[in-house]
Structure 1
């Protein structure tokens, strides 16, 4: 009988522990697109002339292949974080000031909606080529879009003591996305009338894109986890009392 009593108590304890773990776990799992599955050797960079895939997410240009200006790099051109990162180089005609911008679009390979949680950005390239801002647009799965402008912090000391990459976090508005578009803007444009017209590069680096499962705001109120645990704890305590009484009576 004592053995039966111990088994009863252990079962209740295990059930409660499992329930607490499930209810306390995050509602959505996240992953980080760090480009290490396209790793580049330190102090090197390679041009990218087509789309790439990292962590089951597709990053692709919006203009034809011959107009693509992307790269994978590792600790070059002032942006250092001791890992591989993705470089986006957008263009501007500094004769007419007409944008020749080729943004990159990120989406899941199978079209699954996702949430954008955070990412790291850094200036990249020669100072005259660096984007001053990044225009980030999220396209919602149900239609419509959300846009934000991100300014750089001006820190580009390379292998120096300061952090070249800055981390940007996003709120729940950046959920249920079908894709995200990254566009560098506002690189300096030469005002020298004697300089040959050409293209100005809006370059920046991106890394550690944290994404999660898509979620929508609930339409009905759901009890807080603490309340749910209290209800189950009371029920379990009552059940345990009855179980102990039955075992004792035997």
Structure 2
């Protein structure tokens, strides 16, 4: 009888352990686009005249041949001791019409993906820096979603403060065909002689964390803890019945 009870307890323990392992196992591992496969030497930057790839993601300027994009490393007070991507979106001060369209990010094989997080920093001389970044995700099934990100104003270069700020994205950014990055709202001087006829709207982006695409659920799903509780109760009941049957035998 004692042996039967031990078998029942082991069965219950094994079932619970397996259930917890399955429910708590992480999703497919995310990747981080850090641009180190296009590495630039520290304290340097190089203009980008055409599209580039990093971690099998394509970063494509709408008007190739222009010098509004760059790869840089610890330049213009944006320091994180690594290579990052610079985007400069020129906008006419009077008409607000863009001279250069934003950069578009997508998978090389055109597979949908999810956007999890990224790092942003001000870049360039103060009058050229974007004060906000508009990130637009184009959904694989149609439609789009937009997030406006304001900069934190921290640009101390090699100082102790973090120049890059991390931005996270929720589950709505989970089934994307592409993402557009656009800097906006660069300062405009009241004195026309002190400013060119356009805003530069420059900023730096790095460590873009992406994962596999997954559809957002349309029905309410219980929290993992609730699911574990439900299954645990069921497993306990099943284990009790199994122990009882073995004991009776």
**For residue 157 of structure 1, what is the aligned residue in structure 2?**
156
CA contact (8 A) 2:47 2:67 kept: no
Helix, strand or coil for the counterpart of 2:114? strand
Unaligned runs of 5+ residues in structure 1 are none
Helix, strand or coil for the counterpart of 2:142? coil
Unaligned runs of 5+ residues in structure 2 are none
Helix, strand or coil for the counterpart of 1:81? strand
**For residue 170 of structure 1, what is the aligned residue in structure 2?**
169
Residue 249 (structure 1) shift: 6.5
Aligned equivalents of 1:224, 1:166: Cα separation in 2: 30
Alignment of 1:1-250 (within 5 A): 9-10=9-10, 12-26=12-26, 29-63=29-63, 65-92=64-91, 98-189=97-188, 201-241=200-240, 243-244=242-243
- Deviation string for 1:96-134 (max 9, x for gaps)? 865312311011222222222222111111223222222
Aligned equivalents of 2:69, 2:204: Cα separation in 1: 10
Residue 66 (structure 1) shift: 1.5
Aligned equivalents of 1:124, 1:107: Cα separation in 2: 23
- Deviation string for 1:47-83 (max 9, x for gaps)? 22221222222111111x2224211111111101122
- Deviation string for 1:22-66 (max 9, x for gaps)? 212345643322222322222222222221222222111111x22
CA contact (8 A) 2:174 2:216 kept: no
Give the TM-score, by structure 2 length: 0.82
- Once structures 1 and 2 are overlaid, which stretch shifts more, 222-231 or 169-178? 222-231
Aligned equivalents of 1:60, 1:212: Cα separation in 2: 20
Residue 199 (structure 1) shift: 6.0
Residue 223 (structure 1) shift: 4.2
Residue 193 (structure 1) shift: 5.7
Helix, strand or coil for the counterpart of 1:42? coil
Aligned equivalents of 2:238, 2:204: Cα separation in 1: 58
- Deviation string for 1:134-182 (max 9, x for gaps)? 2222212222222233222222111112221122222333332211111
| Cα 1:89/1:248, change in 2 over 3 Å | same
| Cα 1:40/1:161, change in 2 over 3 Å | same
Aligned equivalents of 2:197, 2:223: Cα separation in 1: 60
CA contact (8 A) 1:51 1:60 kept: yes
| Cα 1:194/1:71, change in 2 over 3 Å | closer
